[in-house]
């Protein structure tokens, strides 16, 4: 996988965690998660990456629980799940942000105990 993509993904993680999460290409995904960076932050990182590069993560990633790939390094994760084909759909970025919006809504509902007010 391109070291450019790996470096870019790491830079996005650093930015979203306000540089609290330090990682490199060999960091396992499971090591990213904690107080400073959670699954919603990870979804945002994926969405930002796709929007920046106009490439998509494979559809199978949406249905794969995090615990099934948390032992992969960042570089292995990108090699496994990134489809490097350039996206030409004019709604590509909007659709990706909609996926993030849905993930955020689910997280907020879980946090509030299922109440719809947040």
Only one residue has tokens 């904690």, namely: 34
Q: How far apart are CA 28 and CA 82, in angstroms?
A: 16
In a domain, 118, yes or no: no
Q: What average pLDDT does this structure show over 4-29? A: 96
Quote the number of domains for the chain. Answer: 1
- Give the pLDDT band (50/70/90) at residue 118: very low
Q: Helix and strand tally (H, E) in the chain?
A: 4, 2
Give the domain extent around 45: 3-111
pLDDT of residue 66: 86
In a domain, 83, yes or no: yes
In a domain, 95, yes or no: yes
At 87, list the tokens. Answer: 């996206």
In a domain, 46, yes or no: yes
Question: Tens digit of pLDDT for each residue in 53-93?
Answer: 999 999 899 889 888 999 999 999 999 999 999 999 999 98
In a domain, 65, yes or no: yes
In a domain, 117, yes or no: no
In a domain, 33, yes or no: yes
Question: Tens digit of pLDDT for each residue in 30-48?
Answer: 999 998 899 889 999 999 9
In a domain, 86, yes or no: yes
pLDDT of residue 1: 47
Q: How far apart are CA 87 and CA 93, in angstroms?
A: 9
């Amino acid at each position: 996988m391109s070291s450019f993509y790996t470096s870019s993904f790491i830079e996005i993680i650093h930015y979203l965690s306000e540089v609290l999460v330090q990682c490199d290409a060999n960091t396992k995904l499971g090591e990213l998660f904690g107080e400073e960076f959670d699954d919603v932050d990870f979804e945002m990182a994926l969405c930002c990456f796709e929007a920046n590069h106009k490439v998509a993560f494979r559809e199978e990633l949406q249905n794969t629980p995090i615990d099934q790939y948390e032992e992969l390094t960042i570089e292995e994760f990108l090699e496994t799940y990134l489809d490097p084909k350039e996206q030409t759909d004019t709604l590509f970025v909007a659709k990706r942000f909609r996926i993030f919006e849905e993930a955020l809504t689910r997280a907020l509902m879980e946090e509030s105990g299922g109440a719809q007010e947040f």
